[in-house]
Copies of this chain bind each other. A is one copy, B any other.
Amino acid sequence: MATEESGVKRLGEEEEKNNNENGVTLAAETKENATTKPDFISSVIPGWFSEISPLWPGEAHSLKVEKILFQGRSDYQDILVFQSSTYGKVLVLDGVIQLTERDECAYQEMITHLPLCSIPNPKKVLVIGGGDGGVLREVSRHSSVEQIDHCEIDKMVIDVAKQFFPDVAVGHEDPRVNLHIGDGVAFLKAVPEGTYDAVIVDSSDPIGPAEELFKRPFFELVAKALRPGGVVSTQAESIWLHMHIIEDIVANCREIFKGSVKYAWTTVPTYPSGLMGFMLCSTEGPAVDFKHPVNPIGANQDTCKSKGPLKFYNPEIHTAAFCLPSFAKKVIDSKTK
């Protein structure tokens, strides 16, 4: 979310000219947008992309831009893709970095394998959000999975990912994937009770199109869609920056999910504060011990050359992800006990 705080400069005419000289390429469907000023780019250093947001006031991470590859506006959000000088290609939604080729493995592997390795033989999985395809790529490593329903609100994110991030969007190609373009809340309302073994919510931040995915009614629908002892994993912000948001999510989940409710985190250099948290919950039924995975992935993964090997996840880092610094443990434990 770009802001106009004092001291923050929008991408000006000079930088736009430079970018064009560097060779801006634009997908056909957004040519109309391309002729307007790309004022959604919160560039504060000439030639660099800087991530400014009211969700992390007073700090900004910047990446040097080699070339802008795509910029457009969908029905829901601004979409930007650029080639960075040291993090590979970068996908930005509403001014916030969603993934870079260099570190996307951490987020995609952890948000997916933390839930799927915590239950035996997951068969039916629902992915909400994650239009880039990275979570689908990870789900598809599990050979036990028979059905992957995918609900993404913004088709343009999928199209852009397929064009610019083939190693991530490869997840869309799995024949087990059923794509539904639409709102996650509406989709869940139509799901028969107890349908899924696992639900993975790969959303953007709670400002913008993902706002509803952080609220109580959404979690109630997720719980209903899960079988007894089914699991959900959602992105749940940073313990350094968003303890107030996390407190609310944990308190809601504790009331809604009658099995386990745990918070985990992983390092992701290009996310604010350098980490990302996950909320892991299970419904009443067969007990789920999230800290001790029962469904190992690795040697027996459904390997496919186009997907490449796991880069980040292993059983040790799975367990370690649930260990919290004392300042966060104190707050989260007070809500989960």
A46 at the interface (CB under 8 A from B): yes
Please report which residues of chain A, range 219-249, place their CB below 8 angstroms from some CB of chain B when the two chains form the complex: 240-241
Chain A positions 302 through 330: 1 when the CB is less than 8 Å from some CB of chain B, otherwise 0: 00000000111110110111011111010
Contact assessment for A323 and B316 in the assembled complex, using a CB-CB cutoff below 8 Å: yes
Tell me whether A47 and B7 are in contact in the complex, defined as CB-CB below 8 angstroms, given that A58-B85, A240-B103, A274-B267 are known contacts: yes
Residues of B within 8 A of A105 (CB): 327
Q: Which of A8, A267, A325 is packed against the most chain B CB atoms within 10 Å? A: A325
A294 at the interface (CB under 8 A from B): no
Q: Which of A268, A274, A311 is packed against the most chain B CB atoms within 10 Å? A: A274
A64 at the interface (CB under 8 A from B): yes
A26 at the interface (CB under 8 A from B): no
Q: How far is the CB of A105 from chain B (nearest CB, A)?
A: 8
Chain A positions 116 through 136: 1 when the CB is less than 8 Å from some CB of chain B, otherwise 0: 000000000000000000000
Contact assessment for A64 and B323 in the assembled complex, using a CB-CB cutoff below 8 Å: no
Please report which residues of chain A, range 70-118, place their CB below 8 angstroms from some CB of chain B when the two chains form the complex: 84-87, 102-103, 105-106
Residues of B within 8 A of A211 (CB): none
A62 at the interface (CB under 8 A from B): yes
Residues of B within 8 A of A87 (CB): 58-59
A145 at the interface (CB under 8 A from B): no
> Complex: how many Å from CA A275 to CA B274?
7
Among B45, B240, B275, the residue within 8 A (CB) of A8 is B45
Q: How far is the CB of A10 from chain B (nearest CB, A)?
A: 12
Contact assessment for A50 and B62 in the assembled complex, using a CB-CB cutoff below 8 Å: yes
Residues of B within 8 A of A8 (CB): 45
A209 at the interface (CB under 8 A from B): no
Among B241, B267, B329, the residue within 8 A (CB) of A240 is B267
Residues of B within 8 A of A312 (CB): 325-327
Contact assessment for B325 and A317 in the assembled complex, using a CB-CB cutoff below 8 Å: yes
Q: How far is the CB of A12 from chain B (nearest CB, A)?
A: 13
Among B7, B240, B314, the residue within 8 A (CB) of A269 is B240
Known contacts A59-B61, A240-B269; 19 further A-B pairs (Cβ under 8 A) = A7-B64, A9-B45, A9-B46, A44-B44, A45-B60, A57-B64, A58-B85, A59-B64, A60-B62, A61-B62, A102-B240, A105-B327, A267-B267, A267-B274, A313-B325, A313-B326, A314-B325, A317-B323, A320-B323
Q: Which 4 A-B pairs have the closest CB atoms?
A: A274-B274, A58-B86, A7-B47, A320-B320
Q: List 28 A-B contacts (CB under 8 A).
A: A8-B45, A44-B48, A45-B45, A48-B60, A57-B64, A57-B85, A57-B86, A58-B64, A58-B86, A59-B61, A59-B62, A59-B63, A60-B62, A61-B62, A102-B240, A103-B240, A265-B267, A267-B273, A268-B274, A269-B274, A269-B275, A274-B274, A313-B326, A317-B323, A317-B325, A317-B326, A319-B320, A320-B320
